[in-house]
Amino acid sequence: MTDSARSARFLIVGPQGSGKGTQGVLVAEAFGVPQVSTGDIFRANISGGTELGTIVKAIIEAGDLVPDELTSALVRDRLAEPDADCGFLLDGYPRNRGQVDDLEAFLGSRGESLDAVIELDVPREESISRISRRAVEQGRTDDTEEVIANRLAIYERETAPILDVYRAQGVVVRIDGVGSLAEVTARIFEALAARGIEPCEAVADGAVA
C-alpha cells in the first residue's frame, strides 16, 4: 500500500438526496473505519447522559441549533476514541467554514489531515425528485417541495463553499452521484484508487456488491 493508503480519513459531502449517508456507510465499512455523523454523536451523548449531551438536549428541545463550538467539541471527543485512530468518515460535519477551521486545527494538532473529501455531485432537480419520492414512500407530508428547496438552499449557501477550502488542498474527489447505488459506489472506489487510496480488496468487493 502507498503512504496515502495507510490512513483513511475521509469527509463525504453532498446535498440532501445525494445518497451520501448510504455511500458513507459503504466506504467506512470497506476501509474498516467508523462513520461519524453529528446526528449520531448528538444522540449518543444525550442517551449516555454526558455533560455535553445534557447541554445539547436542552438546546434541541428549545428548538435552537447546536452552536459550532459545541458541535466541534463533540466531534473532537468522538475522533479521539480508539476506533478512529487509523481513520474515520465524517458525514454532516463540517457544515460551514467555522467548523472547517475547527476540524483543521484539531487534525493539525495531531499531525493529521484528511486523505480525501468525497463530493457527491447531484443536480438540484435530481435531489428534489429523490427527496420528494422518498417522502411519498415514507408518508412524510412535511417534506414539501418548498421545504426541500429551502434545505438545498442552506446547503448551497453554507456547506458547498467549504469545498473550495479542500479543493485548494487538492483532496476533493468529485463523483457523479446520478446512477444506481452500485454504480456510484464503484465510482467512489475507482476515484480513491486513482489516488492510491484502496481498502483491502476482499472488503471492498463486499462493500460494492
- Taking each helix axis as running N to C, give the angle between helix 20-31 and helix 201-208, from 0 to 180 degrees, rounded to the nearest 10: 160
**Catalytic residue (choose from 9, 20, 78, 130):** 20
Beta bridge partners of 120: 175
**Catalytic residue (choose from 110, 140, 157, 167):** 140
Alpha helical stretches, state H, 62-177: 68-79, 97-109, 124-138, 145-154, 162-169
Query: Are 173 and 124 a contacting pair, CB within 8 Å?
Result: no
Annotation says 151 is catalytic: yes
- Residues 162, 167, 171, 177, CA torsion sign: positive
**Catalytic residue (choose from 43, 95, 174, 195):** 95
**Catalytic residue (choose from 6, 134, 157, 167):** 134
Beta bridge partners of 8: 87
**Catalytic residue (choose from 43, 151, 174, 195):** 151
Annotation says 57 is catalytic: no
Annotated catalytic sites, by residue? 20, 95, 134, 140, 151
